[in-house]
Amino acid sequence: MATIRKSRIATSFKYHTAQAIPEFSLERLEWSGSDDDLKSVVSHSSISSRGRNEATKIPLTEGCFVTKQTGYYLEKAHWVNPVRKNAQLKYEVELLLKGLHIVPPNFNLNSTSNLAPLDRNLHYTLDKLGFFAVTCSIATLRDMISLVEKENKIWQANNGVYPRRLILEDLELLNASYEFVLLHPRHFLQHNGSGLPVYTRVENGVSGKFYFASPDGALRAGPDNDQDLLPPFATEGRPEGVALLNPFLVVIHAGIAFRRFKKLSLPPLCKHYEELIKLTLDLVEKIYFEPILDIVDENRAAYRRSVYVKYSDGDVAMTGRNSRTGTVVKRPGPDASHEERVGYSLYLMSGCDYINDDDEEDEEEDEEEEDEDYDEYDDGDDGDEHENGKKDS
């Protein structure tokens, strides 16, 4: 905010403290009058104070999920978000994910397994514009599909008295590789010759390389279709006690983006991207195994009934403004099809980190409600988790 002091324009804006990063030989940088409330790179301002505290568990040494560039400007992106910042709805989404057996029992949406650092431009174009999506690599998707198919058969053989083991000790899935799927190349890279810089760690620092939108719409090492695609990438190692990124949550996020993209009836993408989309949607369908979803829906309905007995305000008001589906999906009735119930479940988890300007007032009220009421719905475990479901000490 600008002001006038001694006939000169001045500002009362306070710089944030730049935290020390010993691994990069960077000392703490604190300005006179710095705002020391934020202890590390934080998410977009729409994330509640509770979310900011959770986000600090990802170290500053972890670079952008896609480009691997480090920096204080990185934001923490959620892969699964409730469509509205409401404590009741947030808990219902967590209940859904736990019922599908793709997160451990002590999971919450601010767990580091649901977070990844992203460059601000990438975060916004992913979150609010849908110019690209990130899914698992073809090899990882096939491994995940095989695992889910096997677990679905075991679940059926045990007549449902069996939790699918989708998040346990499988190190291949915990170290999953991911791929960048460019959905709107001309909007993402608007000028001929503009590219996305991607970095790799080398002995004395990083080495950068630009990737461009080729005529077939893919992100390649050069402007021609015969150039190499941006290769699969992995998350950087995280300290002990900080959960790795959960690939199932990334796939859920990508599935929402791909379902919406396919409704646009645009020309097909390159063959590699089309294969990624096909496998991603196939995996999402298997995650939402119909007999399991029936039980999950029953449990969610029982939860809503218990909440409405205690709180007489009724159902949560929904809005399409903060949904990456771009619409409002009504809660399915008792005769709804499996596809309608899957669509509604995906809608519940399609919320954005970035909030539209006309949502800001509502969001402030919701954040206050979440800070005050979250414990009514939480399982009492604010700790982060390993992917095997064990709480960190």
182-220 pLDDT tens trace: 999 999 998 888 899 999 988 877 899 999 999 999 999
- Identify the pLDDT of residue 84: 73
- Identify the pLDDT of residue 21: 84
Q: What is the pTM of this model?
A: 0.77
Phi first, then psi, for residue 118 (nearest 5°) are -135, 145
Residues 71-106: tens digit of each pLDDT? 988 999 999 988 777 787 888 889 889 988 999 888
Which residue did the predictor score with more confidence, 61 or 372? Answer: 61
CA separation for the pair 342, 289 (Å, rounded): 10
- Identify the pLDDT of residue 233: 96
Q: In this model, does residue 174 exceed pLDDT 80?
A: no
Burial label, 103 (beta-carbon count in 10 A; 0-12, 13-18, 19+):
buried
- Identify the pLDDT of residue 349: 67
CA separation for the pair 274, 256 (Å, rounded): 15
Amino acid at 212: F
106-120, 239-253, 316-330 — which is least confidently predicted? 316-330
* Burial per residue of 275-305, b for 16 or more beta-carbon CB atoms within 10 angstroms, e otherwise: ebbebbbbbbbbbbbeebbeebbeebeeebe
CA separation for the pair 294, 292 (Å, rounded): 5
Which residue did the predictor score with more confidence, 371 or 128? Answer: 128
Write the CB contacts of 130 (distance below 8 Å, at least 6 apart in sequence).
Answer: 183, 184, 257, 260, 261, 324
Mean pLDDT (whole number) for 286-297 = 83
- Identify the pLDDT of residue 239: 83
What are the structure tokens assigned to 330, written together?
């009504």
- Identify the pLDDT of residue 9: 75
- Report the DSSP pairing between strands 177-182 and 233-234: antiparallel
What are the structure tokens assigned to 235, written together?
């998350």
What are the structure tokens assigned to 144, written together?
């995940």
Mean pLDDT (whole number) for 279-292 = 92
- Identify the pLDDT of residue 11: 61
Rounded percentage of the chain residues whose pLDDT exceeds 90: 37
| Cβ-contact 61, 70 below 8 angstroms | yes
Residues 349-382: tens digit of each pLDDT? 667 776 654 444 444 444 444 443 333 333 334 4
Number of neighbouring beta carbons within 10 Å of residue 166 = 21
- Identify the pLDDT of residue 204: 78
| Cβ-contact 167, 103 below 8 angstroms | yes
CA separation for the pair 8, 368 (Å, rounded): 38
Burial label, 87 (beta-carbon count in 10 A; 0-12, 13-18, 19+):
buried
- Identify the pLDDT of residue 232: 97
- Identify the pLDDT of residue 364: 45
Q: Which of 182, 197, 199 is nearest to 63 (CA)?
A: 199
Q: In this model, does residue 125 exceed pLDDT 50?
A: yes
